[in-house]
A and B are shown apart, each in its own frame.
Chain A
Amino acid sequence: MQNGNRRALRLGANAGLRLAALVIMLFGVLRSSADPTPLRRNLKALPYKIAWECYVNGNWEICVMNADGSGKVNLTKTPGVNEHYPQISPNGKQIAFSVDNGEGREAVRTLWVMDIHGKHRRQIADHAREPFWSPDSKTLGYLPQEYAPFNVVDFYTKGMMFYDLATGKTTPHPNTEKLRHLYNPGFSPNGKWIVATVHAGMGFSHSIVLIEAHGDRILDLKIPGCRPRLSPDNKHIAWGPEDHELAIAPIDLASDTPTVGTWSLHIKDEKNKIYHINWSPDNRYVAFSRGPDGEGDLSKKGSFQAACEIIGVYAGGWNLYAVSAERTGAIDMEKATEADVTQLTTDGNSNKQPAWFSTRQSGRK
């Protein structure tokens, strides 16, 4: 009988412990969903949204969400039209993007502009790629394709053109004849330079360069990697030193010969690729894309085969993330917690090319 009592007591105690553990666990779950980390909370409070290229129902679209990843909206909703590479004008009112039509070498990439609400589309150029905005939002730069037959490789470009949105006139960069194999261009916010990557062109093997916006100087920034983005305040550069790294460092764009300083933030991910870093309008955050290595998926309509960070290549498992750009030191994505990094998308459906904009400027809610 005594043994029976002890057994009953033990069972009761175990059940109590289990119940307590369950309550603690539930409390933790509820707390974490109701009480986001400071980083997510800060992102939520920002008057910003992020546009990016998403893949919805077998089609490339441009989506928009709040800076904390909430409120995802398919902005373009154009089944059958493959939009990607959204670039928001500095005044937050327009989106430039590219559209692919066709397959293989017969495909044609065209450039378009629409307002921030996704309306009033107009075509800017064909056989062209990678549009970029002048600081005054009045001119759209772009890179003509090297030859007419399509190739998905990102450095397949020759020359540089500027499209005036008011007049519809296109003028070449003064050094256009010498510009070859550039990609991922962007104006410096002070308007003096265009930062870009060059691969196998202009006498460079592979470099990140500054190209004088209205002249013929070309400066090698002497940093490894690709896809640079300059902060809106002209003070920092963010880029990918290699497939599994992102970095932020100071740059003195006011100088006659700008140079890049010591890296302030170094994001690493041994397992996944990390790409497409881009700045928030207040220079305080960066968003980027992350996902496994791959070479596209031809079963995905409108997708080409190449490294999956390339525009037009389906990137299975890729999502968007945001971190504070004010942090210093290193972030290891394999060990990072919600306190370090906020995951913005979760469907892994080829989420790439984040581009921030201010809802105050754009008027978009």
Chain B
Amino acid sequence: MKHPLQLLAPVVLALLLTGCNPNELGIKVRPQSNTPGSTSGSGNGASVAITTKSGVAMVYVPAGSFTMGSDQGSPEEAPPHKVSVPAFLMDQVPVTNAMFEKAQLPNPSHWQESPKQPVERVRWRDAKQYCNERSRLEGLKPCYDEKTPEWDCDYAANGYRLPTEAEWEYAARGTSDGPYDFGSKDALRQYAWFAENSEAKTHPVGEKRPNSRGLYDMYGNVSVWCEDVYDPKYYATSPVDDPHGPPSPGKDVKRVLRGGNWKVSADLCRATFRQGERTGNTDACFSTDYCGLRCVRRIKPEELAQLQTNKNKG
């Protein structure tokens, strides 16, 4: 039996979709022009674009279930398995040079011609530091404990963090069961910068079409760090509910890197393609110039609804 608030959630979301109102977190909610008509998963409502207190555009991705992985790709993408993720906000674009510098962190990017180019050559821990800095900028509780060796993640905190691998794939696949949420590989040029069209460099974010959730550069430009430890066999044992990846082995850890990038072929831009990358934490001059990031933060539909209610009362 559903809680009354759960029954009200779609109504509240519909209310949210009708306006562009700042709430007490400084979030402006506006309708997402490219919201999906239906989803391959059981997403409870549509994606919504918002702007955070520090001016970052994010997309509300409703909670839902989907089939993660594929038996049509590489062995590590199998087996396809059912996964559920709670609702979350995800950056509409990868973190840019300008966004990274706003957090007063040393920008390691190879390409800095434009402030709108995505930041790259980011070590895994530096990506997490950016998340914490942005949380502090917005008065949110940082997710990462900087005093632990691997900067342990408090998933219950309301601050920013890297997406889990499941969150990333759920956001990327949007309405589709296939390898690209927009349909066939032939359309990839319209959605992504990858080896065939990038001219061997990154490009300002948001220049290509967004995916069905309204997220830009999900299939190309830079790959993004995820929170999970990379294990090619993880899908065989992954839990259904909100998987966070396998435990860290402590040494020589690889973390999940997701999404295509300027350097790779169309096949490696697939939404189900998985790769692990050394974190770069022991490297003074990390030179992997396709490693970027994109933040997420957990938010419940009730939280959005409550914020909207407070606004209306105010």
Contact = CB atoms under 8 A, between A and B. Distances in A.
A307 B287 contact: no
Interface stretch (B39-47, B100-108, B168-176, B207-215): B100-108
Contact of A306 (B112, B147, B149, B281): B281
Interface string A185-213: 00000000000000110000110000000
A306 B287 CA distance: 15
Interface residues on A, range: 20 to 34
Interface string B1-25: 0000000000000000000000000
A151 B149 contact: no
Given A104-B146, A149-B104, A298-B147, A154 B284 contact: yes
A308 B104 contact: no
Given A200-B112, A200-B121, A294 B104 contact: no
Contacts of A293: 282
B163 to A, nearest CB: 23
Chain B at the A interface: mostly helix, strand, loop or mixed?
A: loop
Given A104-B146, A298-B147, A305-B125, A155 B282 contact: no
Contact of B285 (A105, A148, A149, A206): A206
Interface in B277-314: 281-285, 287, 289
Contact of A151 (B105, B112, B283): B105
A313 B285 CA distance: 15
Nearest to B151: A305
Contacts of B82: none
Contact of B106 (A181, A206, A307, A308): A181
Nearest to A206: B285
B109 interface: yes
A147 interface: yes
A146 interface: yes
Interface in A155-177: 155-156
B146 A307 contact: no
B185 interface: no
B110 interface: yes
A308 B125 CA distance: 14
A151 B126 CA distance: 10
A155 B106 contact: yes
Contact of A153 (B106, B149, B282, B287): B106
A68 to B, nearest CB: 30
Contacts of B110: 200, 205
Contact of A298 (B109, B133, B149): B149
Nearest to A243: B283
Interface in A121-159: 146-149, 151, 153-156
A151 B133 CA distance: 12
A200 B109 contact: yes
13 contacts: A155-B106, A199-B108, A199-B285, A200-B107, A200-B108, A200-B110, A205-B289, A294-B282, A295-B281, A298-B149, A305-B125, A306-B281, A307-B283
The 6 closest A-B pairs by CB, nearest first: A147-B104, A156-B106, A307-B284, A295-B281, A295-B282, A205-B110
